[in-house]
Structure 1
């Protein structure tokens, strides 16, 4: 017998109340702001609250917000629908499909096992090896959740169990806790290092473009290179000192990885084709700005190659629900954020906040904005939702305060990933890795708070100096 889908209607209360209250406060809106700008703000905030409370899946919440925008006449349909043609969002979709190739062919798993076999003699070396896998795979996997859950977590769990480390047996601290928490941070760092390593990064790129700032794959990578490598060296070592594993030597890990690789057999034709596709993607993302091929075109080209080569089937494309879900809800959010700018709300907000920070040195303003951006993440359960909600406004404030535009745009882009160092619900990988039961909530929050301070020092301090040396400001 057919039945209705379950919907938790109580979770509609908060976004509905927030949206209606803001909507009817239009009469007290700031002078000079149009009523359309205020109504767009009300719907946008209500949608963001809905993305947090999740009365429906993210796509469903976005659909309700889209209908509200059009039905109220805040934005005409022809304008609202344009968001679905945003190139940055299609880059995310294409990169989701590339990531599916890594998982389907087993190439991601093979890369991880090769690193474990090569560097897995000591526990700290094992952690660095797994971080290196993240670094290699990240440019082609814009879903850091897929990277953590589909490639890294199964390897780490198998390794932990090989050493008898299991939370159900009370032995999680043997090695599993350390490896799980290190992977969480390696995932966040590598997500910050590449434009195509996390779904929210191209969204930041799109928002920056709306304000006249040109972020490319190459300038993002170059700016993130030194603070990223420093973080990948320092953070696993700090975790090793703060949260030392009981097992310090892991000679069996090399044998285990060798056995798993033997079971996988010789590299397969699909894996070889996947390598070719990945190399093409990286080459064109790096050289694209010099030869006139943008990142999204590269994504389409590589997916076409993977389809022709037989690495992916059209059914693989159709079944990649994460990509299509992302296309829908990100398109709606980008449309809303773009309209907040076009209708005048973001220019007003940036001018107002900029005036309150008037007289401050621009570098002080940048630090204040980045720290506020970072710690406001305690109120978000998604890095991408946070980027969608606040990136454009914070960038506008920074530019209004005379912060060099590219410096501000890239720093906010990096921190859109680093702010995952807060809670056990901070990003997609967090509930996967925390949910394995290896790290207690108190420890997760405590260590994340300490490492958050480390990121702030490395990325603002060293990162800004490095960008100065590159001539980016």
Structure 2
């Protein structure tokens, strides 16, 4: 007989306690906040805390929150299920399937090996080449965890083994530590450069739309290209100085990559199709604002072509657990956040906080909000939970204080990627790459603290000026 799943019931304590306290605090709620808005707030906060404590996987927590909302009559079922029809959610699901093609066909590995062959003569060049792989695949890989763990890290692990660098025998600092930590930072940077580079970005886009601010794929790309390029160039060099590898030259990397490419043989038909479809998706995403084609439709088109051509099977799509898990929790969190807005809680909060900041220059307000948003991630183990909990409220406060709406929406949205550069539990890629044992915890926190200041200056400082240049505010 099959045994029951191991549920961490103790971790339900805080979500239930906080949710009940808020639910029962109705006598103390502001008069202008409706009873339904207060109750959805209680369930939403309990769900977010559950996403942090994780008595169940995040999709399970969201499902419990959804069921509770409808069961207690806070929102009718017909309204609640509307979140599952959100096109942003389906864009993520299809993009997950598209990224599956990178791994299944071997196209992602081939690209990585080509980069290593071209730029891998020195350790720093090797780091830049791996960063290039992450950059190239980021636009169509909304799972930054899959990008780091499924495409780039296997190459790093093989390279480190080739140079005799492994945590098992204390030789991780030879080359493995440097490459692993640089890839983590590359993943953070590329996640901020493309709307479709990680799921929380698309959640922010949906939440911004509720505040009547539209962020397009091309607009996001233009906003991120300058701070992103600066970061991609400078960060590996900073890490090289702070955390230098013992091996500076890697003459074996090129022959190793050539040998691995030889084993793979010439590009298969599946890889060629994957390459062509990826290029098509990028072109259509870039042109979507001009030709009127929805970004979600582009993702559906790309996956449909891969299925018609036999690159992906229907089973591949059905077995893409990350996509369907995202469909559940993302739809539910968007539904709850939308209801908070629709029922009046977010507008009330924004107006109240915005009023308290009246008279303060909006530049200072925006700076305070961004710093608070960035550093509060030390309390979160999920970018999704953090964006769900704070993005809409902070955006509302910023707009109420007079911050140009698109500027506020864009900087807060990219902050959702950058604040992953805080802890070893900050995101999926952080958990995977830290878990390899190549980088010690004190080194991880120390270097992230330094690089966090760099990101704040480049993305929020220079980034704001760049957004002004391109007319986004």
Q: Does 1:354 align with 2:354?
A: yes
1:277 corresponds in structure 2 to 277
Give the Cα separation in 1 of the matches to 2:267 and 2:152: 19
Give the Cα separation in 2 of the matches to 1:2 and 1:118: 51
1:101 corresponds in structure 2 to 101
1:166 corresponds in structure 2 to 166
Q: Mark the runs of 5 or more structure 2 residues left unpaired by the alignment.
A: none
Give the Cα separation in 2 of the matches to 1:320 and 1:217: 24
Q: Report the TM-score, using the length of structure 2 for normalisation.
A: 0.99
Give the Cα separation in 1 of the matches to 2:258 and 2:2: 50
1:287 corresponds in structure 2 to 287
1:81 corresponds in structure 2 to 81
1:3 is displaced (CA, Å) by 2.5
Superposition pairs of residues 409-424 of structure 1, within 5 angstroms = 409-424=409-424
What CA RMSD, in Å, does the superposition of the two structures yield over aligned residues?
0.7
Give the Cα separation in 2 of the matches to 1:205 and 1:8: 33
2:261 corresponds in structure 1 to 261
1:444 corresponds in structure 2 to 444
Secondary structure (helix, strand or coil) at the match of 1:312 reads coil
Q: Deviations over 1:248-301 (max 9, x none)?
A: 111111111111111110011000000111011101100011111010011111
Give the Cα separation in 1 of the matches to 2:353 and 2:425: 29
Q: Mark the runs of 5 or more structure 1 residues left unpaired by the alignment.
A: none
Give the Cα separation in 2 of the matches to 1:465 and 1:56: 43
Superposition pairs of residues 201-216 of structure 1, within 5 angstroms = 201-216=201-216
1:4 is displaced (CA, Å) by 2.0
Give the Cα separation in 1 of the matches to 2:241 and 2:26: 54
1:34 corresponds in structure 2 to 34
Give the Cα separation in 1 of the matches to 2:385 and 2:12: 17
Q: Deviations over 1:223-268 (max 9, x none)?
A: 0000000000111111100001111111111111111111110011
1:328 corresponds in structure 2 to 328
1:68 corresponds in structure 2 to 68
Secondary structure (helix, strand or coil) at the match of 1:215 reads coil
Q: Does 1:384 align with 2:362?
A: no
Give the Cα separation in 2 of the matches to 1:268 and 1:311: 11
Give the Cα separation in 1 of the matches to 2:387 and 2:250: 39
Give the Cα separation in 2 of the matches to 1:374 and 1:357: 20
Give the Cα separation in 2 of the matches to 1:40 and 1:391: 17
Give the Cα separation in 1 of the matches to 2:167 and 2:5: 35
Q: Deviations over 1:102-131 (max 9, x none)?
A: 000000000000000000011111111111
Q: Report the TM-score, using the length of structure 1 for normalisation.
A: 0.99
2:404 corresponds in structure 1 to 404
- Please identify, of 68-77 and 145-154, the stretch whose mean Cα deviation from structure 2 is larger: 68-77
Secondary structure (helix, strand or coil) at the match of 1:196 reads helix
Give the Cα separation in 2 of the matches to 1:360 and 1:328: 41
2:453 corresponds in structure 1 to 453
1:31 is displaced (CA, Å) by 2.2
- Please identify, of 352-361 and 446-455, the stretch whose mean Cα deviation from structure 2 is larger: 352-361
Q: Deviations over 1:25-79 (max 9, x none)?
A: 1110112111111111110000001111111111111111001111111111111
Give the Cα separation in 2 of the matches to 1:281 and 1:29: 48
1:235 corresponds in structure 2 to 235
Secondary structure (helix, strand or coil) at the match of 1:310 reads coil
Give the Cα separation in 2 of the matches to 1:24 and 1:188: 40
1:6 corresponds in structure 2 to 6
2:181 corresponds in structure 1 to 181
Q: Does 1:309 align with 2:309?
A: yes
1:387 is displaced (CA, Å) by 1.1
Give the Cα separation in 2 of the matches to 1:231 and 1:346: 34
Q: Deviations over 1:156-194 (max 9, x none)?
A: 011111111111110010011100000000001001000
Q: Does 1:128 align with 2:131?
A: no
Q: Does 1:141 align with 2:141?
A: yes
Give the Cα separation in 1 of the matches to 2:2 and 2:298: 44
Superposition pairs of residues 417-432 of structure 1, within 5 angstroms = 417-432=417-432
